[in-house]
Amino acid sequence: MSITQLPLLQQLVLVLAAIVLFTSFVLLAQARLVSAIHAFAWQGGLAAAVTSVVAAAGHTPHLYFSALLTLLLKALLIPWMLHRLVHRLELDRHVDLLRRPALVVMAAVALVIFSYWLVLPMVQQELTFTRNIVAISLAVVLIGLLMMVFRQQAVVQVLGFMSMENGLFLAAVSATGGMPLVVELGVAFDVLVAMVLFGVFFFQIRANIDTLDVDRLNRLTETGGEEP
């Protein structure tokens, strides 16, 4: 069955999911901090859009609530909190250059192919129209993980973590048609608390090492303890 046989709304879901994947690439390679936060906000907004179109196309109205929750939390509240933190930390014009952007982006493309291969046996027998998006959501999760590994600035690592959560939300929507409401609310609450704690941590780290480059946090080593 090819894409031409799907109704228009379902095609729109696929297009929006593809753009979500593109925003995770943009997040991965974006050097300017404020632009990275905007890219994350777009990713959240597009994930909410995917959810609402899935709700419309699949006639599952409870997903509208999840979409609204994601929009409010991931596209509005968390980017606003990050903006405020960046402003208070005076990092408005901070540029965190990726050392080898071409290699990292290629690794990300390899991760997309890997996640497609991983979920292929799982979704081949599936009949829902969102089954192809499971690979995309796993790719978003893994690219978020890649981002946390390769970027050294604390705020950007937090963006990677939040992007992983976006991918997980998308995975829940695409694979299972949304988790039960209790779980969704619990996960959203956890993410919000995590964001608040991250904010506290930025100030603690900066108070200690005068920078948010977490590579400088290296006093605890494996040879068993702090330097005297």
Partner 1 sequence: MSALLLTVLLPLAGALVLALLRSLPLAGWINVAVSALSFAASAWLAWSVAAAGEIAGLGFRVDAFNVYLVVLTAFVGLTTSIFSRPYMRHVCKTGLTTERGMRVYHAMYQAFMFTMLLALTTDNLGVLWVAVEGATLATVLLVSLYRTPEAVEAAWKYFILCGVGIALALFGTVLTYFAAQHALADPAAGLTWSILYRHAGGLEPAVMSLAFVFLLVGYGTKVGLVPMHQWLPDAHSEGPTPMSAVLSGLLLNVALYAVVRLKMLVDGSLAGTASPHLAGYLLMGFGMVSFLVAGLFLHRQRDIKRMFSYSSIEHMGLMTFAFGMGGPLATFGALLHMLVHSLTKSAIFVTVGHAAHIAGTQRIDHIRGLIRTQPVVGWSLLLGVAAIAGFPPFGVFTSEFLLLTATMQSQPWLTVALLSGLAVAFAGLFRHLHPMVYGPAPEGQLPVRANLLPVVVHLGLVLWLGLSIPPFLVAWLDRATQLITGAHLL
Partner 2 sequence: MDYLLIASTWGLALLQALLFAALAPLLVGWVRKVKAWLQNRRGAPLLQPYRDLYKLLGKEVRVAHTASVLFRAAPYVVFIATWLAASAVPLVAVALPTAAIADIIVVVGLLALARFFLALAGMDVGTAFGGMGASREMLVSALAEPAMLMAVFTLAMTAHSTNLASVVDAQLAGGLVLRPSYLFALGALILVALAETGRIPVDNPTTHLELTMIHEAMILEYSGRHLALMEWAAQIKLLLYGVLIANIFLPWGIAGSLAPADLALGLAAVVLKLLALGAALALAETVLAKMRLFRAPAFLNLALLLALLGLLGHVILEVGA
- Per-residue mark of binding to partner 1, 118-147 (x: CB under 8 A): xx-xx---------------x--x---x--
Of 68, 95, 103, 113, the residue at the interface with partner 2 (CB under 8 A) is: 113
* Residue 105 binding result from partner 2, partner 1, none, given CB thresholds of 5 to 8 Å by partner type: partner 2
Of 15, 18, 35, 189, the residue at the interface with partner 1 (CB under 8 A) is: 189
Stretch of 15-23, 36-44, 141-149, 151-159 contacting partner 2, by CB under 8 A:
15-23
Q: Which is nearer to partner 1, 7 or 224 (CB)?
A: 224
Q: Is 210 helix (H, G, I), strand (E, B) or coil?
A: coil
Tokens standing for residue 141: 């999760």
Of 33, 39, 55, 112, the residue at the interface with partner 2 (CB under 8 A) is: 112
Of 3, 95, 103, 200, the residue at the interface with partner 1 (CB under 8 A) is: 200
Give strand ranges (E) for the chain. none
Helices 181-209 and 62-70: crossing angle in degrees, nearest 10, is 10
Q: How many angstroms separate the Cα of 223 from the Cα of each of 162, 209, 219, 226, 227? A: 32, 22, 11, 9, 10
> What are residue 153's phi and psi, to 5 degrees?
-85, 140
